[in-house]
Structure 1
Amino acid sequence: MFSGIVPPMRADRLVALVLLLRRRGRLTAAELARELEVSTRTVLRDIEALSAAGVPVYAERGRHGGFALLPGFRAELAGLNHDEAVALLVAGSGRGEQVYGLGSALASAMRKVVDALPEGHRATADHAARRLLIDPETDLLSRRLVTEELPGATMAEVRRAVLAGHRLRIHYAAEGRAPRWRTVDPIGLVTVRDRGYLLATRSGADRTYRLSRVLAAEELPEPAQRPDRVDLDRIWRERCARFLSGDQLSVLVRVDPQRREELLGTALAVRAEEPDADGWLRLEVTFQDARHAEWALWQLGTDAEALAPPSLRARLRERATAIAARYGAPH
């Protein structure tokens, strides 16, 4: 791609610059500098180097100007370095591919990538990847982690509709309701803690569907009503904020720092956190409802104390009193 001798760090940056322009289209020097974490002067020097190497980068003047590649330009990019190969191999060990039904495709891609590596890189990358493990199937307490999965054919229909931009019919079983068919405009797929979600709109209204509750799916031929470009991270944050602004229960709780992560693993969100006088932590967290909060805090035993609301303290006291009475009586 580049003629002459280019220092390795700069060569990586030049490749990254071309990839940014290929993926994002027109970008200003300031935008490229932020993405590459360099100065705008460095970006301008890199643009000159690309042009000198024959890469068709052109500048557009004016308020909406910037740098772009000529339409249709494709280039053979440099091969993966060692760290990139390790990252890809380790990423392949996660379970996201199971959620989206891409396990066989990922395995095939891994074989192609490994086969394309130079012999020295292949051996060292494989050895390094064996030293890193992401999301094993059990935790330190031997609790098996459950990944929600869909039948392959159903997931394939959902995935094809999302990627092709087509409307989608899903046979969906909402919690507490009988399954029924509905037609949606799919936006994207999100995985959170091994749970998969379909982000979509239905009759123009935002909808979020648990993939594990999709019993069947059918990709339709008509195009989905959705924007051409999408920021899934922003959309997910907005939907989470709307969800948390509903009827959830806010709880003020004191907790032993050693049990903090366990508490956060059951709460929906943390609204505030500060140290308490005795070395414990004081947090304001939200739960789905009173029953959820009671269950979560009961798991922590004497390592946590609900301070508010009073109704939750009363429920925990009643439960503890009943347990004490049961075990205080002669057997």
Structure 2
Amino acid sequence: MRADRLVSLVLLLRHRGRLSATTLARELEVSTRTVLRDIEALSAAGVPVYAERGRHGGFALLPGFQTELTGLNHDEALALLIAGSRRGAQAFGLGSALASAMLKVIDALPEGQRDTAAGAARRLLIDPETDLLSRRVAGEEVSDAIVAEVRRAVFSGHKLRIHYAASGQAARWRTVDPIGLVTVRDQGYLLATRAGEDRTYRLSRLRAAEELPEPAERPERVDLDRTWQERSTRFRTGGDQVAVELRVDPARRDQLVGTALAVLAEETDEDGRLRLEVTFQDARHAEWALWNLAADAEALAPPWLRDSLRDRAAAITARYP
């Protein structure tokens, strides 16, 4: 791990010139104290890195210094395979590996192409953390150490012991047979079986994970896309789901559809508003979705949902007379 970090530190200085200890620490996801120790180690190994004092100081390499290309490690190669979405790499705990791999790829390019590629990359921004209204894009915190353990079990084909907190429940231990990992809208999922039954676990709800030595009971080959589609279909059509009939302003349709599990029917009323029948995961989900649409949506059925929204609105009105 430290050897990879030292290589990344040298490559950062090569490609970006003088950088402060704070900037290096942020890029490498370590403390400034660790950066200073790494600088000392590089100097002791003969790498010509030096410090510049002052307000705009930092660390730099002597001009003309070059390194030999260091091969990609397993995690870096894997990160490149899913580099189509940087946040996808983050969801699987491979964000730092992706950054390190990209530095090595740039370093492998001929000098002329390297400068062109670096310049082009600075003109592309993919999946920023906020949208145009400065609203932070929702994301989930997932422990890299936990996800790394899950990845090892998935790739090695071993059983996995997880400490998992299902929605509204206390975390408890269970042993599963991992099948694969999926990321959807920045949310990571573990597809597995437990006692022969299909199970899907959200990575952000894992509190701990431990790869076991026993082989997992699973087929050698898996069509992960098909498996996910099948489970998604079962999720939308089972459990405690509720069907809701409602009217909504056409301008808010996409928000509604993005929240609902499925749209069962849709038509346009004479006044231009849309009349839809949609399904939600449960009663709480339905109430939350309709409340967020405020006056732009009206629940028509079931009656309990109308009553619940009316009572909530009355409570708010009473709070602000």
Q: Is the 8 A contact 2:93 2:148 kept in 1?
A: yes
Give the Cα separation in 2 of the matches to 1:143 and 1:198.
Answer: 28
- Compute the displacement of 1:120 (Å): 4.8
Instruction: Indicate the SS of the match to 2:128.
Output: coil
Correspondence 1:114-125 to 2 at 5 A: 114-125=106-117
Give the Cα separation in 2 of the matches to 1:181 and 1:89.
Answer: 32
Q: Which amino acid aligns with 1:287?
A: F
Give 1:296's aligned residue.
Answer: 289
Q: Does 1:138 align with 2:130?
A: yes
Q: CA 1:321–1:180 in 2, change beyond 3 Å: closer, same or farther?
A: closer
Correspondence 1:172-321 to 2 at 5 A: 172-246=164-238, 247-321=240-314
Give the Cα separation in 1 of the matches to 2:118 and 2:267.
Answer: 44
Q: Is the 8 A contact 2:82 2:89 kept in 1?
A: no
Give the Cα separation in 2 of the matches to 1:161 and 1:199.
Answer: 12
Q: Is the 8 A contact 1:90 1:134 kept in 2?
A: no
| 1:57-109 per-position Cα deviation (integer Å, ceiling 9, x unaligned) | xxxxxxxxxxxxxxxxxxxxxxxxxxxxxxx7994662111211111221122
Instruction: Indicate the SS of the match to 2:86.
Output: coil
Give 2:156's aligned residue.
Answer: 164
Q: Is the 8 A contact 2:83 2:98 kept in 1?
A: no
Q: Is the 8 A contact 1:275 1:282 kept in 2?
A: yes
Give the Cα separation in 1 of the matches to 2:151 and 2:129.
Answer: 25
Give the Cα separation in 2 of the matches to 1:94 and 1:257.
Answer: 33
Q: Is the 8 A contact 1:90 1:132 kept in 2?
A: no
| 1:23-72 per-position Cα deviation (integer Å, ceiling 9, x unaligned) | xxxxxxxxxxxxxxxxxxxxxxxxxxxxxxxxxxxxxxxxxxxxxxxxxx
Q: Is the 8 A contact 1:89 1:129 kept in 2?
A: no
Deviates more, 1:126-135 or 1:208-217: 126-135
Give the Cα separation in 1 of the matches to 2:220 and 2:312.
Answer: 54
Correspondence 1:50-129 to 2 at 5 A: 91=83, 94-129=86-121
| 1:217-260 per-position Cα deviation (integer Å, ceiling 9, x unaligned) | 11122221111111111111111111122221111222222212
Q: CA 1:187–1:301 in 2, change beyond 3 Å: closer, same or farther?
A: same
Instruction: Indicate the SS of the match to 2:220.
Output: coil
Instruction: Indicate the SS of the match to 1:286.
Output: strand
Q: CA 1:130–1:326 in 2, change beyond 3 Å: closer, same or farther?
A: same
Q: CA 1:258–1:122 in 2, change beyond 3 Å: closer, same or farther?
A: farther
| Unpaired segments ≥5 residues, structure 1 | 1-87
Give the Cα separation in 2 of the matches to 1:224 and 1:189.
Answer: 15
Q: Does 1:148 align with 2:140?
A: yes
Percentage of matched positions with identical amino acids: 75
- Compute the displacement of 1:144 (Å): 2.1
Q: Is the 8 A contact 1:253 1:307 kept in 2?
A: yes
Q: CA 1:307–1:133 in 2, change beyond 3 Å: closer, same or farther?
A: farther
- Compute the displacement of 1:119 (Å): 4.4
Q: CA 1:153–1:322 in 2, change beyond 3 Å: closer, same or farther?
A: closer
| 1:252-278 per-position Cα deviation (integer Å, ceiling 9, x unaligned) | 222222212222232223233333333
Q: Is the 8 A contact 2:290 2:299 kept in 1?
A: yes
Q: Which amino acid aligns with 1:167?
A: K
| Unpaired segments ≥5 residues, structure 2 | 1-79
TM-score, normalization by structure 1: 0.65
Q: Is the 8 A contact 2:263 2:277 kept in 1?
A: yes
Q: CA 1:93–1:162 in 2, change beyond 3 Å: closer, same or farther?
A: closer
Q: Which amino acid aligns with 1:309?
A: P
Instruction: Indicate the SS of the match to 1:95.
Output: helix
Give the Cα separation in 2 of the matches to 1:108 and 1:325.
Answer: 56
